[in-house]
Amino acid sequence: MLRAIARAERTVCLETYILRSDRTGERFAEALAERAAAGVEVNLLYDAWGSSVSAAYIADLRAAGVRTVAFRPFAVNTPFEKFARRNHRKILVVDSYVGVTGGMNIADDYASPEDGGAGWRDTQLLLEGPAAAELQYLFLRTWRRSGGPPLDDRRYGVEGRRADPQVRIVGTGLPRRRRWVRDEYRHAIDRSTRRLWITNAYFLPPLRMIHAINEAARRGVDVRVMVAGTTDVPAVLFASRGIYGRMLKAGVKLYEWRGRVLHAKTAVIDGRWSTVGSSNLDAQSLRKNLEVNAIVEDERFAAAVERMFLEDLGSCEEITEKQWRKRSLLERAASWTAYLAREWL
């Protein structure tokens, strides 16, 4: 991402849920400021709730020529439903042609230990061509609706938008598209015939999706779900465990990741359909937040995602039905209580 920013000649569009003024945040601030000083139009859109940046950090960016917008900052007169809907996307687009999306935010948690970060396990996808232009379309639309400064439209090449036969960008927040990501998942799950492998950090799908996943397992599909056993939100893990029983009974293989925090959101189905994005499989992502996923229909890419999944299994503990029946009453109560609050986790 930093290399892509450094090569920008016309525009940089960066959208993130979490932006922190830590070491990683400072590295990005320096990269954005350097390009703004070189005459590039640099736009930064960050979620006001998810981010924790100082006033001085934003002031320095603006003084350097970086145009910044906080998405839905808190205001006393803001309706709760509107405020609760956050911008959870992760988008970088450079010169309308290079794009990056996935699960990574701009903070030390996501940087490698070699760079002084926590080395969370996450997945990010680099795109070139029409798919990057689609990411830019989502960014620009949200930028304008969030009151961002006027754009120099000549720089963005929006007239060049066209469909990519292998990569589709699906994002919530568009008119009549609030459940676009959820519907794409459901359609792919319903069509699965051989393999359905999901990695999702915060796994609390709606009941219809749970039924679809279980039904796939019952008809003989190799269904495997990897969730974050090491997590920054323990309540979500407890709530997720509340649905393990019915999934194990249906034949789903469940794995909990151990080690550094798992934050990835990927899936691969039948060696052909894959997705990488910001969407968790929970109520917040699938019904409320602004999200974006890239859907790739390509066998070589799917094979790479499958290899990544198999490698990650080495850091996981499989949850078996026999093991699950031995839970203590306290564990059962914690899971059930958390599951009741799943709509707000």
Would you name the residues annotated as active-site residues? 88, 90, 95, 263, 265, 270
Show the CA angle centred on residue 314, arms to residues 313 and 315, nearest 5°.
90
Taking each helix axis as running N to C, give the angle between helix 329-340 and helix 234-241, from 0 to 180 degrees, rounded to the nearest 10.
100
- How far CA 39 is from CA of 9, 32, 33, 153, 226, in Å, comes to 8, 11, 10, 15, 44
Q: Which positions ≥6 away from 320 have C-beta within 8 Å?
A: 248
Burial group, residue 119, by CB count within 10 angstroms (0-12, 13-18, 19+): middle
Closest to 269 measured CA to CA, from 302, 293, 227: 302
* 195-200: strand order across its sheet: 167-171, 292-297, 273-277, 265-269, 195-200, 222-228, 253-257, 316-319
Cα dihedral 79→84→89→95 (10° resolution): 20
Residues 344 and 338 sit within 8 Å (Cβ to Cβ): no
What values do phi and psi take at 301, rounded to 5?
A: -65, -40
